[in-house]
Amino acid sequence: MPEKQLQVELLAYTPDPEKTCALAARTCYSGLEYDELKAQVDEKDQAAFLRRIVASGHLSVLEHASFTFGVSGVSRALLAQITRHRIASFSVQSQRYVSLAEGFGYIIPPRIKALGEDAVEEFESQMAQMQAWYQGWQDKLGNGEGSNEDARFVLPNACETHITLTMNARELLHFFSLRCCNRAQWEIRALAKEMLRQCKLVAPVIFEYAGPACISGPCPEGAKSCGDMTNVREMYRSL
Ligand SMILES: Cc1cc2nc3c(=O)[nH]c(=O)nc-3n(C[C@H](O)[C@H](O)[C@H](O)COP(=O)(O)OP(=O)(O)OC[C@H]3O[C@@H](n4cnc5c(N)ncnc54)[C@H](O)[C@@H]3O)c2cc1C
């Protein structure tokens, strides 16, 4: 039963995401046919135009660019949080169809690791105990889908899962504003940060000011603010 580490890959995205969004925005303000409009967008750098559009809050144009990620090395605890984002599409490794009899992977929280080797050993032995319970129930229930779906009830939140997820750029900006914040839970924050890093590589203008809300304004957390805005801003701007 191995410990698993976060892995994130931008599997696919709308070709030329920024041109596509700029073209969509120009549709609103132009009487040109599409071949002329496309030529206009191809000819001239659209960065300044797109920045103005995003700054003005005309964010629906960003819904024309989609980004699909493959995520593994994350816990079922993370799954419960990320699937709260309704403007996203998810495909998740099934605990009914996939038997974990060979051993489930798991995530060890950094704070448990920081307690030292004894703590990690204790955590790992608890995982091994749950693996034994799982196998015990599989044996009692017989092989196949039916036994997996009931044996999994003894598996922990730490259990690793695989998620293919798709969000459009508008939803990603919203997701990053909530989940890159220091107030977000550590695991989903690490995932959001890595997703943002990869988005910036392919759509630097759209995601220029993406990140927690304090990147582009005051912290909305009030008394619960981390108080570390200067470092947070610096970190996300140089991501
Ligand atoms: C730090 C933190 C702590 C949290 N703690 C808890 C907790 O203790 N308990 C808990 O249950 N949840 C908790 N959540 C989850 C949170 O309440 C949201 O469910 C989650 O962040 C998804 O956000 P969303 O609804 O804005 O986003 P999405 O579902 O991604 O939707 C994006 C936006 O679309 C619009 N939208 C979507 N659906 C609707 C709709 N039906 N009606 C109107 N507008 C809609 C809204 O403007 C919304 O902001 C927490 C989240 C964070 C970041």
Active site residue 152: no
Find the range with the poorest average confidence among 11-20, 91-100, 138-147, 171-180. Answer: 138-147
What is the tens place of the pLDDT at every residue in 200-210? 999 999 999 99
Q: Ligand 1 pocket check: which of 87, 182, 188 to mutate, most ligand atoms within 8 Å of Cβ?
A: 87
Confidence band, pLDDT 50/70/90 cuts, at residue 134 = very high
Higher pLDDT, 143 or 221: 221
Q: Are 14 and 65 in contact (CB under 8 A)?
A: yes
Query: What pLDDT is attached to residue 146?
Result: 81
What is the tens place of the pLDDT at every residue in 11-54? 999 999 999 999 999 999 999 999 999 999 999 999 999 999 99
**Residue closest to 18 by CA, chosen among 210, 207, 213, 238:** 207
Residue 116 C-alpha to ligand 1 middle, in angstroms? 35
Give the residue extent of every domain in the chain: 7-91+161-237, 96-154
Buried b (16+ CB within 10 A) or exposed e, 132-153: eebbebbeeeeeeeebbeebbe
Residue whose entry in the numeric block shows the structure tokens 């960003």: 62
Q: Are 239 and 196 in contact (CB under 8 A)?
A: yes
Query: What pLDDT is attached to residue 135?
Result: 95
Residue 170 C-alpha to ligand 1 middle, in angstroms? 14
Query: What pLDDT is attached to residue 145?
Result: 72
Query: What pLDDT is attached to residue 216?
Result: 86
Find the range with the poorest average confidence among 20-24, 139-143, 166-170. Answer: 139-143
- Confidence check: pLDDT of 10 > 90: yes
Residue 188 C-alpha to ligand 1 middle, in angstroms? 14
CATH annotation of 7-91+161-237: 3.30.1360.170
List pocket residues of ligand 1, CB cut-off 6 Å. 84-87, 171, 174, 178, 183-184
- Confidence check: pLDDT of 144 > 80: no
Ligand 1 atom nearest residue 174's Cα: 32
Q: What is the pTM of this model?
A: 0.95
Average pLDDT over residues 220-225: 92
Sheet holding 88-92, edge to edge: 7-13, 66-75, 160-168, 88-92
